Each structure stands twice: as structure tokens, then as C-alpha cells.
Structure 1
């Protein structure tokens, strides 16, 4: 990665730490993580279950406190922000895809993609146009009015991908986004996800334990004993 790309990093972590107390014993999950992700770069975060990948993504996504070190998102030092400002930064800059889709069960596919856009201030018409565009690109044009319970696992995860990209985030975080799917469906969904992310120009940090899937991304970093290798 060039010096300029590092300087303009979408996300930059400096000496990030996270510890927990369990049964009176201190457990150091992150021990000083340093990472820079360039604009448009898709980075695979590789590591076995329990290695701290989800903890690292929670830190980058500003989902909880208790972390030491510095987190910068699109040039903003998130470590110095109060709770409200962190919420705004997360809403405006970050999109999430989880292993479980977490779709709203009482809303159909297009409504699940429309709602976060309206929260961000878009009109319903703008939000529906963007949702339709994304869902069509993911092969769900005929499933817009179906609720999550009426969709297959792969279709549910495609809706979750559309929701994450709806607000054109600067950074997309994905935590084992295809871990709940069979291999063939996982390959299809991941391919569509990567194509859409590259099309939007977003940067992405994708946690996985699947070496094969990781190799389809621009760069691989490995979390081992609390530090990146």
C-alpha cells in the first residue's frame, strides 16, 4: 500500500486494545492492533473463532466502549467523540453486514432497505429508488414485497447486504457475512457483495475464518494473539 493511501486511510487503528475480566482473570483480546484501510480497498480479517475478530469490528464500528488506543474513521478521531457524535459518525460513514441478517421481520425486503435511508434523511422516493436498484443488482427484483420469513437464507443475506450499502457508506464492515450459508450460496453472495462494494468505491473490512474466501479480497490480515500479522 502506498504512503499516500496510508495517509488518506478510511479507517486507521493505532495501538487498539480491549480487555475483559472473567472470573477474576484479565483476558487481553486485543493487544495493540494497528491497521490502515485505504479508500476502495477490501481487506479480509482472517482468524479462527474466538480470536477477537468480532471484537475488533465492534471497535471499528463504534458499537461499544471500553477500548484503548485510537480509532479514526474518514479522518475523524472517533476516540475523542461523545456518544451522540459517535452515533452520527457511525450512521453517516459505516455500513454493517452480520453473519445473521437481523432484518426486521414485520417489513418486506424493500422496506428493510428503505428504513435506514429515511433515518439518514432521504425522502421515501429516493430511498425506494436506491433500494430497488440494489435489490435488483442482487437478483431480488421479484422478491421486493417478500418478508424475511418468505426468503431463503441466501436471499435474506442479500437483503442485508443491500441495507448495509444503501446509504453509500465510506466503510463497510462484514462479520462472517456468509458463515451461515452453504458453500455454493456463500460464494454467490460474497461475489455479489464484493462487486457492489467495489462499484460504490467503499472500503471494506471483512472478518472470516475461510481462507479460500479471504483470497478473493485485495489484502489479507491475520489476527493472532491479539495483534495483526
Structure 2
């Protein structure tokens, strides 16, 4: 009888090593991130908890490769961000990351369906397939009857659902969410978060969700706290 095969753990989706970020204002240097070390594993949903101004958004900008000026190392899906040129970093964002912000940032001149179709077209998905994927996601989020509506015709909760669908459209390996329900009332916030978590788990993505809400953070797989520029 042969020995059972040992299942080795998958590699982390993202690894942060000694991540730092400082800003200078009025001749004073402010250390926002002071050596952050962190890993997010495949399929793991991690809450990044901390009060406003603690550096949560700065940390997500680093992981999302949205700006420079960071020290340390960022590895996404096995690729070093520091060793990647501009085009490679753009490809990393496009192919592996999805983003949800506190404010939906939907394109106002396009309806809900097209807002979810467009990022797929950028990634090279044929329009019929992109449209089918958009309708699948929007229906799953309870927007089956609202696909033809523009953002201005949708409620705040509906707008944020479209933003969630857009973030998940290309089935990213990691979704970065910055206070994704912070602009909603409590009841709507709970519904949108539950739908977000259900869809992320359903497609096997990982997520790093910045929030200051302990109650919402408790719904996720793991909670890390950003305090004084470091993770506790």
C-alpha cells in the first residue's frame, strides 16, 4: 500500500516584506507604514482593521501597485513588483487584482452592464462572453432588473453592488476593498458585504478588506490590525 500523498500548501497570493511608506509635510516626516510583514493565502479573506488615518488605504495602494514611494518588497502571485517594469506592473494589476472602493467610481455615461463589461474588454475577453459574465454577476447581486440603468439611476447600495461586480468580473486572484461599505447605512452595508463575501468565496478569490468596523471584520476569515504603522 503506497503512502498517502502529502498536500503541500499553496503559495501566498501576496507577500509583503518590511513594507514602509513615509510622507513629508511642512518639513516633518510622517512614517505611515513602518515595516509591515504579511501574507494572504489563496481563498483567504482578511480584514485589515484600524481607525481612520491609520494607513489602511496607503497599504492597499501599495498592494494594488497604484503608486510608488514604498520601501520593502511586494510579491503578487509569485512576481516581484519591485523587479517589474511599468508594463509588467500594469499587467499584474489587470490580470490578478480587483478593486472596490468606498465610493463606487462607476463610469456615469455607461449603464450597469457596460460598467462590468468594460474591464473585461480591456483584459481581452470577447464582448459576448464579457456581457454574459456581467449579467451573471449582476443577477447574482440582485440587479437583474437594473442592468440597463446608469449609476445616477441607482441607489447607493445598487451602485456599490455594480462596483463589486466590476471588481470580480475578471475573476482576480486577489480583491482589494477599501471601506467597501463605508458610504452605506448599516442595513445596506450588511447586505452588500454578505453578497461580496459570498461571491469572493464562490469563485475562490482572496480578499484584503480595509475597514474600521469590528462587526464587519468579524465576518471574515482573519483579522489583522494596523497600529502605529505595523500589523498586530
TM-score bracket relative to the smaller structure: over 0.9
TM-score (norm 2): 0.96
Task: Tell me the equivalent position of 1:32.
Answer: 35
**1:120 aligned residue:** 123
| Alignment partner, residue 148 of structure 2 | 145
Deviation of the 1:80 alpha carbon: 1.2
Distance across 1 between alignment mates of 2:197 and 2:41: 16
Q: Which has the larger radius of gyration?
A: 2
Instruction: Return 5+ residue gaps in structure 1 as ranges.
Output: none
Shift of 1:141: 0.2
Work out which of the residue numbers 41, 46, 50 in structure 2 matches 1:47. Answer: 50
CA RMSD of superposed structures (Å): 1.0
Counterpart of 2:94 in structure 1 is 91
1:191 correspondence with 2:194 = yes
**CA separation in 1, counterparts of 2:209 and 2:83?**
25
Partner of 1:167: 170
Alignment match, 2:5:
none
The match for 2:25 is 22
1:87-114 residue CA offsets vs partner (Å, 9 max, x unmatched): 1111000000000000000000000000
| Residue in 1 that maps onto 2:217 | 214
Q: Distance in 2 between matches of 1:221 and 1:44?
A: 6
Moved segments of 4+, more than 4 Å: none
- The structure in which a higher percent of residues are helix is 1
Q: Using the TM superposition, give the Cα deviation of residue 82 of structure 1 relative to its aligned residue in structure 2, in angstroms.
A: 1.2
2-structure distance, mates of 1:30, 1:19: 7
CA distance in 1, matches of 2:55, 2:99: 17
Cα displacement (A) at 1:123: 0.7
1:223 Cα shift? 0.1
Structure 2 runs not aligned, ≥5 long: 1-7
Residues matched between the structures, number: 226
SS in 1 for 2:82: helix
